Amino acid sequence: MEAKLSFSQDNPPISIISAAKVAGVSLSIDPTLAVGSAPVLCFSSGESLCGVNPILHYIAHTASFSSFCGQDTIEFGHVVEWLEYAPTFLSGSEFEVACSFIDGYLTSRTFLVGHGLTIADIAVWSNLAGIGQRWESVRKSKKYQNLVRWFNSIDAGYKEL
């Protein structure tokens, strides 16, 4: 079922757009909402979902592969935790703490949850990618090697995002 994603042009929901591409979920794009508006996913039935996380949950559950929201209910719970944590990177004062936390977490992991790509990886990756110069400076440094390794692997695997 195709849906229309509406959002404010000044704040495109990169995580939603990226997740939809990876999941094989078709979206039409409408960047005409008022500044500061939360993204809205509208369906032809007249129903809609409002907000980044509800839309990401929808995409994860309708993905063309079942593991996008985790392999089981415990992994799904971890995915939800990461979706709630992902916006931390957008807070200037918490950026370094978040980078340090995830760098340590990724010491012995390839993905944030389980052994495959989930919506959690896309949400965190897109928030880092969307920061711009601040992340690029960290990425070029040697400070958070595990985080950079993880980011680069997602980036290389999904260049079309």
**Tens of pLDDT, residues 28-41:** 999 999 999 999 99
User: For residue 124, what pLDDT is reported?
Assistant: 96
User: For residue 64, what pLDDT is reported?
Assistant: 84
The last residue of a domain, from among 29, 44, 62: 62
Q: Domain check: are 23 and 74 in the same one? A: no
Q: What is the mean pLDDT of residues 40-56?
A: 96
**Domain harbouring 33, CATH code:** 3.40.30.10
Full domain range(s) for residue 124: 66-157
The last residue of a domain, from among 29, 62, 95: 62
Is pLDDT larger for residue 120 or for residue 155? 120
Which among 105, 128, 19 is positioned nearest to 68, based on CA atoms? 19
- Written as one string, the DSSP assignment of 105-147 is HGGG-SSSSTTS--HHHHHHHHHHHHHTHHHHHHHHSSTTHHH
How does pLDDT run across 54-109, given as a tens digit for each residue? 999 999 999 988 899 999 999 999 999 999 999 999 878 899 999 999 999 999 99
Cα 39 to Cα 7: distance, rounded to the nearest angstrom: 4
Query: pLDDT band at residue 23, thresholds of 50, 70 and 90?
Result: very high
Q: Domain check: are 36 and 74 in the same one? A: no
Handedness of CA 76, 60, 147, 91 (dihedral sign): negative
- Reading the block at residue 114, the tokens are 């389980």
The last residue of a domain, from among 13, 40, 62: 62
Q: Domain check: are 147 and 73 in the same one? A: yes
User: For residue 91, what pLDDT is reported?
Assistant: 79
Number of domains composing the chain? 2
Q: Domain check: are 34 and 10 in the same one? A: yes
Amino acid at 51: G
Q: Domain check: are 81 and 128 in the same one? A: yes
Q: Domain check: are 57 and 70 in the same one? A: no
User: For residue 161, what pLDDT is reported?
Assistant: 55
**Domain harbouring 136, CATH code:** 1.20.1050.130
User: For residue 2, what pLDDT is reported?
Assistant: 78
User: For residue 113, what pLDDT is reported?
Assistant: 98
Q: Domain check: are 101 and 77 in the same one? A: yes
Residue 1: is its pLDDT beyond 70?
A: no
Q: Domain check: are 151 and 81 in the same one? A: yes
User: For residue 85, what pLDDT is reported?
Assistant: 96
User: For residue 90, what pLDDT is reported?
Assistant: 87
Q: Domain check: are 34 and 7 in the same one? A: yes
Q: Domain check: are 34 and 108 in the same one? A: no
| Residue 46 DSSP label | S
